[in-house]
Every structure is written in C-alpha cells, then in structure tokens.
Amino acid sequence: MGASLRDIARLAGVSVKTVSNVVNGYAHVSPATRAKVEHALSQLDYRPNLSARNLRRGRTGVIALALPELDAPYFAELSRFVIEAAAELRWLVVIEQTDGSLERERQILDGVRDHRVDGLILSPVAIGVDELAARTDDTALVLLGERIHDGPADHVAIDNVRAARDVTEHLIGLGRTRIAALGAQDNSASGTAPLRLAGYRQALAAHGLPETVAKVERYRRHEGAAAMAALLGHRPDAVFCFNDLLALGAMRTILSAGLRVPEDIALAGLDDIEDGRYSTPTLTTLAPDKAELARIAVDLLKRRIDGLPGHPPQETRAGYRLMARESTLGR
C-alpha cells in the first residue's frame, strides 16, 4: 500500500510531524530539512492520500459537469475541454446527464450537497431563474452555455442573439429571401431557442424579409429530419438550423427528397461539431470557442470554490466564428 509518513520520517531522520509539515506544504521547515524529507519521499515513492487530504480541507478534488446528454457531439467536445482545463488544477470531473429534464436538473443541483464534489458546472435547459435564485445551498455553481438573464450564479456563454443574427445575415448576403428557422421550442423560457429566434428575426426585419419557423422538442438529428420534411411544403430557399445536429438531420431529408444543397436549399447550423466538416456537402455553421467557454467556466468555479461567496454573479462572453462551407457556398 505504499510508504507511510513514519517510513519517511525514519529514512529522513526527522519526526513524523516534520514530514507532515513538508507534505502539507507548510512554510516553517528549514530548506535543509525539507530537502532531506523530499529525498526520502522520492526514494520511497510516497504518494499522498489526496482523498483524505482533501477531506481535511473540506474538499474532494472533484467537480461535477452536468449537461443534457454526452452523446450529443457538442457536449462531448465541450466536456473534453472542461476535463482538460480542470486537469490543470488537478481536479477530476464527474459527468452527470440531465436529459434536459427539470427533475434531473433539480436532483443534480440538490445532489451537490452530498459533499462528493466541490462545485458544479451546469448547462441548464429546463430550470428557471426563479428556482435558481431560491436555491439555499451555497456550493459553488457556474452556469455554462445558456443565458439566464440577471441570474443568481456566474455564467458564461456566447452572445446567442448576435450569433444567430450573423448566420441569418450570411444567408441573406447570398441572395436568399425565403429563409426558414428550424429549432424554435415551445417549452424553453430561459434557454437558447428564444435567443437564436430573436437573432434570426432581427436580421429578417432589417431586410424586410418574411419568417417561417419550425419547432422541435430536442436538438437531435431525427427531429431535424422530421421538421425539415414539414418545412419542404413552404419551399424555403435557405434554412438556419439552431444547431448542427438539426442541420445534419435536415440535410438528410433534403437530399433524400432529391433536392440539392445549396442550389435548391442553403443550409446552416450552429456548434461546429466535427460531423459537419465531413458531411457532403460540408456544413456552414457558427463555431463557439469551446475551449474558451470551458476555460472560463473552470476559472469562475475555482474563484467560487476558493471563496468569493459574497461577490455578485458574473456574466462572461466567449467568442465565436462563422464557418462558411459548401452547404451555403456550393462546391
């Protein structure tokens, strides 16, 4: 089971207390003694029991990342970056899936009181501002990727309204005039859908163009395929899908119907998942800076865990880029 502090002390010729002071990084140890202890530590391949040490500090060294579903590529890609950013702090990341359900989001917000994690990064779908504000627990919390106006916790996201306007302006700039939106939602009060819809509408209004809006329940390929089938009757010449999965589903429907992308219908998504870079045609999309989103979320959480409970919640924006590809530009 590895060397004990007693073994180290014996080898270094010092007291167990001195070894403990070195291992815990306390200052009042002379450089010579510290060197002796460190030599013994390395000779005996000593490993601190991080679990016990963290517990003494009231910490577990583990944070939770709660997101709708790991098998949606956007969240898998984002998780990759969160795990990498957390690893720099020697934090481990537990991943929890909410499936976008209010009950699961509540359970997870509640569950942080089980003390198994030091803090939570939550990508909320269903939970509202009021409920978050009424939270009595003070475990560190950062909201990631959905905008909750004047929210009760630190929050990082891209500017969804402006991003959606930029995508729509791109389609307008190509001369398209019957531009549909695919991805509005009935049940989303605080989520992304209303923000992206607002950006789409701003761009259309600026050019006096009419709107066509298709709703979905969830942002998955099969819903994009089904909603696109219904949209075909409206003969759009372009479709802005509110995420890439919806767009890839829609692309499948358009091509299966014998229509061409972009000649008959130009298509754009949002997320820049890898799939869209290899589809035929490749998918025009908007790329949120996922590495920046993840880094900011981890930094905000660290500040809260290190003890800034009194500070007002902070709103932070991450950057994005429009990636124009074959599905709007042609080959």
Alpha-carbon gap, residue 198 to 203, rounded angstroms: 9
Is there binding between residue 6 and its own copies (CB under 8 A)? no
Is there binding between residue 279 and its own copies (CB under 8 A)? yes
Do 168 and 207 form a contact (C-beta atoms < 8 A)? no
- Binder among 5, 8, 73, 228 for its own copies (CB under 8 A): 73
Alpha-carbon gap, residue 185 to 214, rounded angstroms: 9
Name the 3-class secondary structure at 11: helix
Is there binding between residue 116 and its own copies (CB under 8 A)? yes
**Region binding its own copies by CB under 8 A among candidate stretches 66-74, 143-151, 165-173, 228-236:** 66-74
- Binder among 7, 84, 237, 299 for its own copies (CB under 8 A): 84
Give the up-direction half-sphere exposure of residue 207: CA atoms within 13 A in the CB hemisphere. Answer: 21
- Tokens representing 51 are 């679990």
- 13 or 48: CB nearest its own copies: 48
- 6 or 80: CB nearest its own copies: 80
- Binder among 6, 39, 57, 80 for its own copies (CB under 8 A): 80
Q: Provide, rounded to whole angstroms, the least separation between the CB of residue 279 and its own copies.
A: 7
**Region binding its own copies by CB under 8 A among candidate stretches 151-159, 232-240, 277-285, 303-311:** 277-285
Q: Provide, rounded to whole angstroms, the least separation between the CB of residue 30 and its own copies.
A: 29
Alpha-carbon gap, residue 230 to 182, rounded angstroms: 11
Q: Provide, rounded to whole angstroms, the least separation between the CB of residue 41 and its own copies.
A: 14
Amino acid at 278: Y
Do 273 and 77 form a contact (C-beta atoms < 8 A)? yes
Taking residue 162's Cβ as centre, other Cβ atoms within 10 Å add up to 14
CA distances from 317 to 146, 147, 198, 293 (A): 11, 10, 18, 8
Is there binding between residue 300 and its own copies (CB under 8 A)? no
Give the up-direction half-sphere exposure of residue 314: CA atoms within 13 A in the CB hemisphere. Answer: 17
Chain residues binding its own copies by CB under 8 A are 2, 47-52, 54-55, 60-62, 64, 69-71, 73, 76-77, 79-80, 83-84, 92-97, 113-117, 221, 225, 248-249, 251-252, 255-256, 274-275, 277-280
